[in-house]
Amino acid sequence: MTWFSKANTLDELKKQYRKLALQYHPDTLNGDSEKMKQINNEYDTLFPAFQAIYNRTASEPSRESARESRSEFYTQNGWKGENYDFNRSTRDISKILREYVKRVYPDHKFSITTENFSGGSSIHVRLMTAPYEALQGGKRDHGLNPYCLEQDNVLTAPAKRIMQDVNRLINSYRRSDCDSMVDYFDVNFYYDLSVGKWDKPFEVVDRPINNKAQKTVSEAAIITEADFLTDVDIENDEDLEL
């Protein structure tokens, strides 16, 4: 072993990788792409063996791959939501969101679209109609800051509760490993929230619903992935009446 000679356990292997990544990643001041490539290759080779040793005695076996574990080690503040899955695409997550709001909020209409671009992908979530005023003062469109929803003084109370719930669900599928000090931004997808659009304002609409299909937020909080395997169109990201 060239880079991990002092590692004797899976935990030590991971800690050593974090240290090396912070030193040699190409985005750091003294980074070295060739050395980082060597480090990644050696880590990927050693990881399964150390993982197998760990799993012999662990109460909860490790099932992550070397590549998955590497994705979170660049910064000290990397995190992932409880529903994050390395193999789940942004379109898959959009499908889950659509099915969730359709099931939990059947008397609302959401527009949920996916955008792919050279630097990654993004999900756009818009509350388009509700059976009540979603915005104070007669406003018909309003962009939301996902980090400050509690402090938003334009959302009405019921709209704020729903958008906070949707925001919670979105973040449960996200991962972030960013370090602004070295201009390093790595997230599995971006997203934004709003009520209405600049060219299609929010409307108050009473929509008939099937009471048997309606659930409260607490009843829908635990939903298995199989619940979302329905015929929901995700191929063409047009606004859907949800």
Cα→Cα distances 72→16, 32, 65, 110, 133, Å = 13, 19, 12, 32, 41
pLDDT tens digit string along 165-210?
A: 999 999 999 988 777 666 667 888 999 999 999 899 999 998 776 5
Per-residue confidence (pLDDT) for residue 185, from 0 to 100: 76
Location of each CATH 1.10.287 domain in the chain: 10-74
In whole angstroms, give the CA distance from residue 11 to residue 183.
Answer: 28
Task: State if pTM tops 0.85.
Answer: no
Per-residue confidence (pLDDT) for residue 232, from 0 to 100: 34
- Residue written as token pair 């090396």: 20
Per-residue confidence (pLDDT) for residue 210, from 0 to 100: 59
Q: Which residues pair with 116 in a beta bridge?
A: 121
Per-residue confidence (pLDDT) for residue 166, from 0 to 100: 97
In whole angstroms, give the CA distance from residue 86 to residue 20.
Answer: 23
Per-residue confidence (pLDDT) for residue 233, from 0 to 100: 34
- Name the CATH topology of 10-74: Helix Hairpins (1.10.287)
Which positions of the chain have pLDDT values less than 50? Answer: 212-241
Per-residue confidence (pLDDT) for residue 241, from 0 to 100: 43
Per-residue confidence (pLDDT) for residue 67, from 0 to 100: 84
Per-residue confidence (pLDDT) for residue 179, from 0 to 100: 72
What residues contact residue 128 under an 8 Å CB cut-off, 6+ apart? Answer: 109, 110, 111, 196, 197, 200, 202, 203, 239
